[in-house]
Structure 1
Amino acid sequence: MESVPVVPLMYNMLLSAGGALLANSLVKEFSKLFAKLRMQGTDMCKKSRSMIPQPMGVVTAAIYMIILFLFIPAPFYRWIYDSEPMFPYHRFVEFLSGVLSICSMIFLGFADDILNLKWRHKLLLPSIATLPLLMVYAVNSNSTSVAVPIQLQPIFGAVFNLGILYYAYIGMLAVFCTNAINIYAGINGLEVGQSLVIALSIIAFNIIQILRLESQLSFHLFSLYFTVPYVFTSTVLLRWNWYPARVFVGDTFCYFSGMLFAVVGILGHFSKTLLLFFMPQVLNFLLSLPQLFHVIPCPRHRLPKYDESTDRLTYSVAQFRANELTQFGSKTLSFFEKFGLVAVRKKIEGHETVLECSNFTLINLALKLFGPMHEKCLALLLISLQVVSSLFAFFLRFYLAKFFFNVVE
């Protein structure tokens, strides 16, 4: 029986704790430097509309990378110093490819914060950053088969080989993870808060699987090595980004977080389980589709609207003429209104009908359902939703799956 390597895990946690202390100091120092360089953003949901230093996510991301660089020898010390045979080159290459993909995404995220890249670039760049990951997966594992639910086994068999479609799936998974956090943002603490819940859910899943299945030990250790430092450094960032925010995390943090989750999900061989932890992000993405694809007119910013008189947030709206909508757009708007997902108002201006609808995001939907609320309360509500979703994901993964699969690993 292969034992859990305690020394690398303890070293990982020690480096992570040291990195967290360093992050707290450097975020404070660099926030002043960023402000001097006018690398700032306006806090739209405050009466003061103060300028906040950004993107501070690049600081914690850099510290995270330093932790990983210092940690690289630790998982392999038995082979390096004790002269054990058969050095695990496949694990070493996987580790380096994960580091490379995350590092690439941090660089691209920082470029987006500075250059304000267009959406087509935001979709293309994660795909490029994932290529090292896909190549290593193809060489080391090349497992493209998926288990088929019991109900469909008479048609497809117990296992179905997706072939190249599986690589398309994991490539799209990386694109989704990096952008899903980015579009589910806009209030103090939400980006870091949701990411921390996902990271802690991954750690809990890794620990459960290590205790359950010896055969998957190396996969989940790999995930822990990457995720634990992230939790330590991001907890510090949350302290600075929590209401009232003293720093903004920027797109760098969102891309960095998304790529990290994609790396551990793909190379840790639990990409489908990973998606279960992204349920609020999936819901937000599905809600956003009509505006993302311009079926419904999409304003530049879909942040909640701040009411200075009450110091509360209400849902923001998109305003457009009725004749701007295609027939498909009108049916889409009616569908979302029918199920209570958006609020729609009509008014006559001159000879034209003007439509006003709440923006298609989960944040605005929460404000529509629960009414205006303080920014801090809204952040707590949405992070609580993330926690409940993760608990439901564990229920699906370990209990409900028994009704669809013969073996639940």
Structure 2
Amino acid sequence: MAADVDTDTTNNLEIMYFPIVINLLMSIGAYFITVRLIPGIKDKFIKANLFGIDMSKTTSDKVPESLGVVTGCSFLITMFLFIPIPFGNSLINGDFPHAEFVELLAALLSICCMLLLGFADDVLDLRWRHKLLLPTIASLPLLMVYYVNFNSTTIVTPKPLRELIGYSIDIGLLYYVYMGMLAVFCTNAINILAGVNGLETGQSVVIAMSIIIFNVVELSGNLPKAHQFSLYFMLPYTATTLALLKHNWYPSKVFVGDTFCYFSGMTFAVVGILGHFSKTTLLFFIPQVFNFLYSSPQLFKLIPCPRHRLPKFNSKIDRMEISTTNFKYSELNILGKIVISLFRMFKLIKWQEKDGWVVTNNLTLINLVLLYCGPLHEAKLTSILIAIQIFFTGVAFVIRYPLASVFYDV
């Protein structure tokens, strides 16, 4: 009997790890193909007028933009070729897992839709209200599959509250609202924290590798199939994004565009929702959450928000400096004055006032780093921001494991 149990365990492990190994090998191949594909195709983007000028350089060379569509397509092609691998054994045995198959297709559909809509944004330069609407539309296939396959809207309450409200609460429709908002946040959070060479791709690689580490740790846990599903997406995503980072790092030879930010955000939302670890996914976005909260006064027009909040380039010293906005303090509403006062109290802004006019730095994490560290070379600025992302990944794991055990049964 013991021998039979050992044999079954070995077979189950082989079934679990075989597709992951194949996926990893395909991802390595996708990396090398994408690394070579980007230089060969970037001139076509310039010919199609998809280019920009790097404002942080002394040159005015045309830099091809929206190259995120190339990595997105490489990712999708890898995933399409991979589809038969995890289901081959089921086809032979005649117990095809239709629910899992539909899950995979719906996830790819949402990512594909977001890639298309992101490219449309790069070409058409859509307004901010459209940037909020597009991820909501693209997440609908994802939410429908979650409803059909799982429809679990129950959340476990923290231990200190269980005597008052019970072990768990069914929040119903609010859970779907939360998942839809997660997709909107993930797609826009990377887009907001951007503007220096390598930052969008660098932070995305750190987030993706954090999720991969979490998935590998949890493969032996209660939901191995969910984390196996996540690895199917994260391995090729990380490989293709590393290929893009190679060309996007300082001095950037290509720009990634909103296409990459939307594609990345939706990929993270897909694995978080269908992998049943959406709260943990948010933990890996701590710098992006802070950047969003810090930017909110400008995003919601409590204080003036220029179209571009990128740091300024000082060509005389080849350094990046804070960018600023100016306004009349007397013209701010009550909420705006309260927020500004709090930011001044915690020394989160530069404050200069003369003749009723106020000059402050634009409210982004990039400008905040420059405020504290002074003018920085662009490559060093990006490195510091990536280091912040890595540090808070460590914080996320501390919250997820040692601290979570205090409030939950983990």
Structure 2 Cα separation of the partners of residues 133 and 220 of structure 1: 17
TM-score (norm 2): 0.95
Which of 5, 24, 31 pairs up with 2:42?
31
Partner of 1:318: 325
How much has 1:321 moved relative to structure 2?
Answer: 2.4
Structure 1 Cα separation of the partners of residues 153 and 17 of structure 2: 32
Query: Could you tell me which amino acid in structure 1 is paired with residue 202 of structure 2?
Result: G
Query: Aligned pair 1:12/2:12, yes or no?
Result: no
Partner of 2:381: 378
Query: Could you tell me which amino acid in structure 2 is paired with residue 355 of structure 1?
Result: V
How much has 1:37 moved relative to structure 2?
Answer: 2.1
CA deviation digits over 1:121-169, x for unaligned, max 9? 1101100100000000011011111111111112211111111100000
Partner of 1:41: 52
CA deviation digits over 1:228-256, x for unaligned, max 9? 00111110100000000000000000000
Which of 217, 220, 229 pairs up with 1:208?
217
Which of 53, 62, 65 pairs up with 2:76?
65
Q: Retained in 1: the 8 A contact 2:31–2:239? A: yes
Structure 1 Cα separation of the partners of residues 19 and 60 of structure 2: 46
Structure 2: gaps (5+ residues): 1-8
Q: How does 1:299-314 map to 2 (within 5 A)?
A: 299-314=306-321
How much has 1:17 moved relative to structure 2?
Answer: 1.6
Of stretches 102-111 and 145-154 in structure 1, the one that deviates more from structure 2 is 145-154
Partner of 1:165: 174
Q: Retained in 1: the 8 A contact 2:202–2:245? A: yes
Q: How does 1:5-404 map to 2 (within 5 A)?
A: 5-80=16-91, 82=92, 84-211=93-220, 213=221, 215-348=222-355, 353-404=356-407
Query: Could you tell me which amino acid in structure 2 is paired with residue 234 of structure 1?
Result: T
Q: Retained in 1: the 8 A contact 2:115–2:260? A: yes
Structure 2 Cα separation of the partners of residues 166 and 186 of structure 1: 33
Structure 1 Cα separation of the partners of residues 149 and 297 of structure 2: 39
Structure 1: gaps (5+ residues): none
Structure 2 Cα separation of the partners of residues 375 and 49 of structure 1: 17
Of stretches 84-93 and 67-76 in structure 1, the one that deviates more from structure 2 is 84-93
CA deviation digits over 1:299-329, x for unaligned, max 9? 0100011111111111110012233312321
Q: SS at 1:160's partner residue? A: strand
Of stretches 248-257 and 151-160 in structure 1, the one that deviates more from structure 2 is 151-160
Q: SS at 1:146's partner residue? A: strand
Q: SS at 1:38's partner residue? A: coil
* Segments of 4+ moved more than 3 angstroms: none
Query: Could you tell me which amino acid in structure 2 is paired with residue 98 of structure 1?
Result: A
Q: Retained in 1: the 8 A contact 2:303–2:327? A: no
Q: SS at 1:45's partner residue? A: coil
Q: SS at 2:139's partner residue? A: helix
Structure 2 Cα separation of the partners of residues 226 and 200 of structure 1: 12
Give the RMSD, CA atoms, in angstroms: 1.1
Query: Could you tell me which amino acid in structure 2 is paired with residue 25 of structure 1?
Result: R
Q: What is the percent sequence identity of the aligned residues?
A: 51
CA deviation digits over 1:94-132, x for unaligned, max 9? 000000000000000000000000011110110010000
Structure 2 Cα separation of the partners of residues 365 and 10 of structure 1: 42
Structure 1 Cα separation of the partners of residues 149 and 283 of structure 2: 25
